[in-house]
A and B are shown apart, each in its own frame.
Chain A
Amino acid sequence: MFAEFVPLFIMIVLALGLAFTLLKAAEILGPSRPNKIKRTPYESGMDPVGSARERYSVKFYLVAMIFIVFDVEVVFMYPWAVSFQDFIDGGAFLGVMTVVTIFSVILMVGLLYDIKKGGLDFEK
């Protein structure tokens, strides 16, 4: 059964080989004129100087939580809506409505919690 995976191994070897070859070729063939700015880890970003333990607002997490609430909701509601007709045809209207109601209520508790904790309060 391992014979099936031989093409996969060949591909991995090729991918690694290609990446290595191209990097090395660029290093050997290309002109090398380094200067201070070019050698910084993020060439166009901020200077990576100072403590890494900087403070940033907890608000990011609350916003991310709201995103997750709606994201997860949509991820499950789309397939639910698409197959809704099949459920009605199958005589399972009540069941599928109950399930999605429970699901939405749980998500709404999360949303309520988030809003009460100031997730949409951008002034502060």
Chain B
Amino acid sequence: MELARAFSTMAADLPAIFSMIVVSVVGLVMLTVAAFRSDHPSIPWLGVAGMVVASAWELFQLGTEPGTAFFGAIRVGGYAAFINLLVLLAGIATTILSVPYLHRLKHDYGEVYALLMYATVGMILLGSSNSMVSIFVGLETMSVCLYVLAGLIREDEGAVEAALKYFLLGAFSTGFFLYGIALMYGATGTMYLPAMAQADLATAGGTLLFWAGVALFLIGFLFKVSAAPFHMWTPDVYQGSPTPLTGYMSTASKAAAFGSLILVLYYALPAERWTLVLAVVAVITMVVGNVMALSQANVKRMLAYSSIAHAGYILVALAAGTEAAFAGALFYLLVYTVMNIGAFGVMALLEWDGREGRVQTLDSLAGIGTDRPVLGVTMVVFMFSLTGFPPFGGFFGKYAVFAPAVDAGLTWLVLIGVLMSAVSGYYYLRVVYVFWMQDRDDVVDARQASLGGLPPVSRTSQGVLVVCAVGLVAMAFFSGGLIEAATGFFDASAMAAAGGGG
């Protein structure tokens, strides 16, 4: 009868993976439709509908008590719901932004949207995993889909380069990651995160084995969130991939990976030994990201380096390691997702408007704000928010990650972070300057001559960008409540009750 009981437990746990089921079933339906007619216009909207249903479900899960399901493999409750909601909203925005973009490229295959759905499923699993096995399965589901999406425009050499680099380096980092898991399992004898912290590392060899495993494991994760010195792939991949999908890669996959990393740090890694490691990585990441971004002429590449820098800011909170810091990191992930999807979305819609074909340098977009007022204004909001100016979410996000780090005694780290975000003002505000204030006469002549005026931009896509921009302002107003709610996910007593698992 034990088997019967196992099956009934699993059936009772099905609500825990409701959004995964919805998104993957809708993905299968989309693939079936795509088999009959690959460019059927309903396919992306099917995906959006599925993700809206899933995110409505996750919205109601935000307030639930933390716990585990499927014999400790999956974590449920507010924390998982928050990460899942973030990933699903990023998926919805990306799908809507991709429709006009891929149509214009004549690459609007249904398979793209189906792959986006499967990547989202992987991210949901990653963000709600409680065991090393589900972390690995989620990470790989996500990564394999993203490798394919990066090389979508296969007649473009840059895209092929991006896909191949992403795939080879990603596969290599997966090797580190798996080896780390193997060593950690060898030292503790368990795959479950809470059980790992309680394991007895009595023998000297066991301790060495465990921390060697943690080091390799962190390399795998830091690669996925593109933290320096494991960031080398990021600029090439982000530049070569289709722009809306770059936005997706730089936000949703980072949100899921950081969400999972926080779970590992919070539950599985006992002492405070990793603080200095993460602090050093955060310093390198912030410096490399911001300094390299300064000299980029290509806007997409600049945004790629900026996303490295933002991973550094989040790592500051992770290095602090307190519950307030983790909550701040969650809020930062939310803000970062909205503003980065927006920035890449604007660049996607502007991709044909410059002088130089699809490659947009700062010069080629001079004065574009006057021709495209909605895109220009939203871009200003995103750039100011990325810099961290007060009326927008970016400022409160930075405050939420830096303040707990000061409390944790990492003032030197925060000092570097603040200095580096001052540096970032130069390259973000230069975009604003180029969009609105640069003399456009000579540029416009060339543009009008080659294109015969600018074609209209999709209204739905502009709508998504406006929603993102308004959302950034709203987040600034509700930042206190949001951070408080995020802190609630780490409620110590409830966590202890759910600590069991495997």
Contacts and interface: CB of A to CB of B under 8 A. Distances in A.
Are both chains from one complex? yes
Interface of A: 1-2, 86-87, 90-92, 94-96, 106, 109, 112-113, 116-117
B3 A91 contact: yes
B31 A90 contact: no
Nearest to A116: B35
Contact of B3 (A2, A87, A112, A113): A87
B105 interface: no
B2 interface: yes
Contacts of B7: 92, 94-96
25 contacts: A1-B203, A1-B206, A2-B205, A90-B2, A90-B3, A90-B4, A91-B1, A91-B3, A92-B3, A92-B4, A95-B7, A95-B8, A95-B10, A95-B11, A96-B7, A106-B28, A109-B28, A109-B31, A109-B32, A112-B32, A113-B31, A113-B35, A116-B35, A116-B36, A117-B35
Contact of A91 (B4, B10, B11): B4
Given A2-B205, A92-B3, A95-B6, 19 more contacts: A87-B3, A90-B1, A90-B4, A91-B1, A92-B4, A92-B7, A94-B7, A95-B4, A95-B7, A95-B10, A96-B7, A106-B28, A109-B28, A112-B32, A112-B35, A113-B31, A113-B35, A116-B35, A117-B35
A117 B32 CA distance: 11
B34 interface: yes
A90 B28 CA distance: 32
In the A-B complex, the 5 residue pairs with the closest CB atoms: A95-B7, A90-B3, A91-B4, A116-B35, A1-B205
A86 B28 contact: no
**Which secondary structure dominates chain B's binding surface?**
helix
Contacts of B3: 86-87, 90-92, 95
Contacts of B36: 116
A94 B8 CA distance: 10
B145 to A, nearest CB: 15
Nearest to A4: B205
Nearest to A114: B35
A112 B28 CA distance: 11
Interface centre among B4, B31, B205 (most CB of A within 10 A): B4
Nearest to A86: B3
Contacts of A106: 28
A98 to B, nearest CB: 8
Nearest to B38: A117
A30 to B, nearest CB: 38
Contacts of B2: 90
B214 to A, nearest CB: 18
Nearest to B205: A1
A116 B7 CA distance: 35
B357 to A, nearest CB: 24
Nearest to A95: B7
A75 to B, nearest CB: 17
A2 B4 CA distance: 43
A2 B10 CA distance: 41
A112 B29 CA distance: 12
Contacts of B28: 106, 109
Nearest to A89: B3
A116 to B, nearest CB: 4
Interface string B183-212: 000000000000000000001011000000
A117 B203 CA distance: 57
